[in-house]
Amino acid sequence: MILLELQLNNFRQFYGQTPPVKFATGQGNVTVLYGSNGAGKTAVLNSFTWAMYDSVSKGFLFEDQIINKRAIRESAPGATIDAWVQIKFEHLGRQYLLKKLVQAVKGDDGDLVSKGPPLTTLMWAAEDGKWKVETNTADVIGRVLPRDLHTYFFFDGERIERIVQPSGEEQNDIANATKKLLGLEVIERAVRHLGAARKTLEKELEQVGDAATKEILQRKAGIEEQLARVEARSDQATKNLVGQRERQKELKQRLSKLDEVKVDQQRREQLETDLERATDTMTAAKSQLSALLNADAYKAFLSGPSQNFLDLIESLRAKGELPAGIKRQFVDDLLGKYTCICERSLDMNESRSAREAVERWKDKAGLAQVEEKAIRMGGEVRQLRTQQENFWDQSDAQQRRIAADREEISRIQTELEDIGQRLRLSPQEGVKDLEAQFEATVEAIEQANQEIGSAKNDRRRHEEDLRLILLELRKSEQSEGKQQLAQRRLQATLDAISRLQESRGLFESTFRRTLTEKVRSLFAKISYTPYVPEVTETYALRLLESAGGTALPVAASQGENQILSLAFIGAVIDVARDFTRNKEKLPGPEASTYPIVMDSPFGSLGSAYRTQVADKITALADQVILMVTPTQWNGEVANALASRAGKAYVIEYCTTKSDIPSELIDIRGHSYPLVVKSANEFEYSIIREISNG
């Protein structure tokens, strides 16, 4: 998809029709719209998403107030006022024209009465030059750039870091985007259809099956009902968790605004961050200790046998039997004692294979191999003793780390409890009330987490029961032809569902791994830090620091989170491009080119990162459209992007105030005003194309 042109009419700040904003493509594929704060940059960003997806960003306030206020005031009562957004774009060699129109009638009291829902039309240019109307607009837009993906291509740079730690709902959006990218919806749809067919076939088998089959199917239906109830419990608990976390966030903000407890609240938030990090550190240490025990704990029990072996070797050396050669008598003595040098029993009744293995050494000429083996084992046993010491050193180190983390967690929890106590006993009723509400959310979050954990355990148990009963159903023998046929058909359906689900899991696993590699590559190109990004199973992004050998989460700054989010967006676009190139994959978006439209793209980045992002941004997408303030543009960003800007516009804000602050943008030696005195009593914005040469 390549954006060609945007035109607005009475849309938010923009009075009347704006000139067509033509976007740069090809070599100089960057388009820049300069504007001061409040001029309408966010409105331009949202004009795309409003028209294409009926969606706006969180920073787009009063989203129901689309029509320009000057247009409303200048209209006579009874007049119809139009506001629209028109976008021209190219996709797979065909040009499209999308227009979304909203109309309202001005009442006698000045209020607007809607003339109905917005009307969206999509036309495409035929080869003969005539424009034809597309009847299925949403379907075409969905194939060009799926709705679930649009927030990665049209976004507010200052809010972009929410991608790093998405809410539950936003995680679902990312997961849905994954399905769109890989065409997994096709598999899911197939599983749903097969699931419906399975129920029909089960009823058929129940009708023709014998009593035992009917009993199995009834038990199966009972387990499925239990599973459905567990899913409902889990979904409700997850919603409660999200709701309580939002409520807790709101209460924290309210507490932090109260002067009398501001310091305590800020300290509490810092402690909560420290607690999360200490908990992660302790979890990582426990995991490493567990891995160490699984791999090397057996070495702790080899001190006795290894010492016995070494004593034996030394004894042989003292007798002159090593390294001169081990006598046949040595083997006979082992067999006579019924104990090997490794202390394994050589009793025929207890370990026949071991005794026979030792007896075979007697047949070997000169027992040279026994000697060689004994000498080599001596070296290995000595090495093993060194490894035992390393094992204990590592184990002790991990234990000390865990103890230190536990102590730190206890200290933080005590301080948190002290803060809570002070707020509970505050003489300010407002503080006490907010604290009581805050503690209620803590308890509710804990309950929700417990419920989610309980549901997860129940789900695992019921799924195992279901697996066993499906196995039982597969093994049940049907005597009549009709029964056998029904069973085979049902089994074929169950097998197909199982294979499709396996395929889905494989595709998703591959996607997450590919996405992680691409995010890491892009982040490393932009960031100066040694941190390594990770995409979790729930599609949350986080940075890890591996100094000291253990990868631990990093409390990333807002700037680092913004870079991480940009890297994620660039990686998503790369995956989508790969999808188009690799035709063997499942059906997905029909595109190989993608735009990025960004408002305030350099948010809170420092100078060095602004340079890095500006330098790499054109590598993230095939077309870049930026809305920036002079502060966001001037300096390193202008130096990096000016030569790549094919088109440039200013959004001129017309204010009714007389004491207008001077705000100019200098482009290639020319100064352009961004704020001017309005020629009338209205405030509005104008878009002007400026020379970029």
Least reliable range by pLDDT among 123-127, 164-168, 426-430, 664-668: 164-168
pTM: 0.62
Cβ-Cβ contacts under 8 Å for 495 (sequence gap 6 or more): none
Report percent pLDDT > 70 for the chain: 88
Looking at mean pLDDT, say which of 53-67, 155-169, 268-282, 405-419 comes out highest. 405-419
Please give the Cα distance from 399 to 384 (Å, whole number).
22
The pLDDT value recorded for residue 669 is 83
* pLDDT above 80 (res 375): no
For tokens 């499709």, name the residue: 500
- Higher pLDDT: 594 or 123? It is 123
The pLDDT value recorded for residue 608 is 79
Please give the mean pLDDT across all residues of the chain: 84
CB atoms within 10 A of CB 281: 19
Beta strands in 135-176 (DSSP E): 154-156
* pLDDT above 70 (res 129): yes
Whether residue 323 has a cis bond before it, omega within 30° of 0:
yes
- Give me the count of residues in the chain: 693
* pLDDT above 90 (res 47): yes
Which numeric CATH code is attached to 2-145+594-689? 3.40.50.300
For tokens 């009581």, name the residue: 436
Average pLDDT over residues 215-228: 92
- Higher pLDDT: 415 or 370? It is 415
Do 659 and 43 meet the contact criterion of CB atoms below 8 Å apart? no
Q: Is 649 exposed, middle or buried (0-12, 13-18, 19+ CB in 10 A)?
A: buried
* pLDDT above 80 (res 394): yes
Dihedral of CA 64/66/67/70: which sign? positive
Please give the Cα distance from 309 to 374 (Å, whole number).
9
Give the three-class secondary structure for 326.
coil
Dihedral of CA 436/441/446/451: which sign? positive
Please give the Cα distance from 176 to 114 (Å, whole number).
33
* pLDDT above 60 (res 589): no
Give the three-class secondary structure for 546.
coil
Cα-based angle 180, 181, 182 (whole degrees, multiple of 5):
95
**Which candidate, 26, 72, 21, 28, places its Cα nearest to that of 43?**
21
Sequence-ordered alpha helix ranges (H) in 257-367:
262-296, 303-319, 328-337, 352-361
Q: Bridge partners of 31?
A: 625, 647
Report percent pLDDT > 90 for the chain: 30
Q: How far is CA 99 from CA 1, 121, 358, 550, in A?
A: 17, 5, 88, 54
Please give the Cα distance from 49 to 478 (Å, whole number).
58
Element (H, E) at 509: helix 481-526
Per-residue confidence band for 511, with pLDDT thresholds at 50, 70 and 90: confident
Q: How far is CA 136 from CA 2, 51, 121, 331, in A?
A: 20, 15, 9, 87
Q: Which one-letter amino acid corresponds to residue 473?
A: L
Beta strands at 675-677 and 645-655: parallel, antiparallel or unpaired: parallel
Please give the Cα distance from 308 to 224 (Å, whole number).
59
**Which candidate, 649, 654, 650, places its Cα nearest to that of 684?**
654
The pLDDT value recorded for residue 365 is 46
Looking at mean pLDDT, say which of 172-181, 443-452, 506-515, 641-650 comes out highest. 443-452
pLDDT in tens, 536-584: 777 777 788 766 556 666 767 777 877 888 888 888 778 777 766 665 4
Please give the Cα distance from 402 to 436 (Å, whole number).
33
Q: Is 67 exposed, middle or buried (0-12, 13-18, 19+ CB in 10 A)?
A: buried
Average pLDDT over residues 267-282: 87
Q: In 113-141, which positions are buried (b, 16+ CB within 10 angstroms) versus exposed (e)?
A: eeeeebebebbbeeeeeeeeebeebeebb
Give the three-class secondary structure for 334.
helix
pLDDT in tens, 310-334: 888 778 777 766 655 556 777 888 8
Radius of gyration for the alpha carbons in the chain, expressed in angstroms and rounded? 35
Domain ranges of the chain: 2-145+594-689, 184-281+431-505, 298-407
pLDDT in tens, 415-448: 999 999 999 998 888 889 999 999 999 999 999 9
Six token digits for residue 504: 């889905």
Per-residue confidence band for 345, with pLDDT thresholds at 50, 70 and 90: confident
Q: In 322-341, which positions are buried (b, 16+ CB within 10 angstroms) versus exposed (e)?
A: beeebbeebbeebbeeeebb
CB atoms within 10 A of CB 90: 16
Give the three-class secondary structure for 6.
strand
Please give the Cα distance from 431 to 261 (Å, whole number).
8
